């Protein structure tokens, strides 16, 4: 898709596509768990009332189960959320009837959630420059 063939995929991935939720409402929730240890990220998402938290939690859990099933030596405590990406998907267009015989366009936005879970290195979580 958007990835170049020569780019190396690191970590364990899970992608949820075509969710009927606005990416603008889900991105602030994703910012709270980005680069956090997996158990901490799951506890944050479980205690949030947002719809986006429920959708992200399912995707993070799927990525973690991919990691644990592919690498039997990993434990949940050894994982962290390396990357969360919320992309905009297609929009469903609906007609919204208004007064005096007019109509407006109602856009129901969709999003795609991509989560990458990786193993914590021996020195702890690696920080990017500027963080």
pLDDT in tens, 3-33: 554 456 688 999 999 999 999 999 999 999 9
Tell me the whole-structure pTM to 2 decimals.
0.82
Residue 124: inside a domain, yes or no? no
Residue 93: inside a domain, yes or no? yes
Range of the domain at 83: 12-119
Domain at 81, CATH number: 3.90.470.10
Residue 115: inside a domain, yes or no? yes
Total structural domains within the chain:
1
Residue 6: inside a domain, yes or no? no
Residue 130: inside a domain, yes or no? no
- Integer Cα distance of 87 and 27 in angstroms: 9
Residue 87: inside a domain, yes or no? yes
Residue 4: inside a domain, yes or no? no
Residue 34: inside a domain, yes or no? yes
> Smallest Cα–Cα separation from 84: which of 57, 102, 107?
57
In the block, which residue shows the tokens 């970590």?
11
CA dihedral (59, 60, 61, 62) in degrees, to 10, reads 50
Confidence band (pLDDT; 50, 70, 90) for 121? confident
């Amino acid at each position: 898709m958007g990835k170049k063939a020569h780019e190396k995929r690191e970590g364990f991935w899970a992608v949820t596509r075509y969710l009927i939720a606005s990416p603008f409402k889900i991105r602030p929730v994703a910012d709270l768990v980005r680069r956090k240890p997996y158990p901490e990220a799951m506890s944050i998402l479980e205690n949030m009332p947002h719809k986006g938290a429920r959708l992200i939690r399912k995707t993070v859990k799927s990525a973690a189960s991919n990691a644990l099933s592919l690498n039997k030596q990993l434990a949940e405590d050894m994982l962290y959320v390396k990357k969360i990406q919320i992309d905009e998907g297609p929009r469903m267009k609906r007609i919204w009837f208004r007064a005096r015989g007019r109509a407006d366009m109602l856009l129901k936005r969709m999003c795609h959630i991509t989560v990458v879970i990786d193993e914590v290195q021996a020195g702890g979580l690696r920080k990017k420059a500027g963080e």
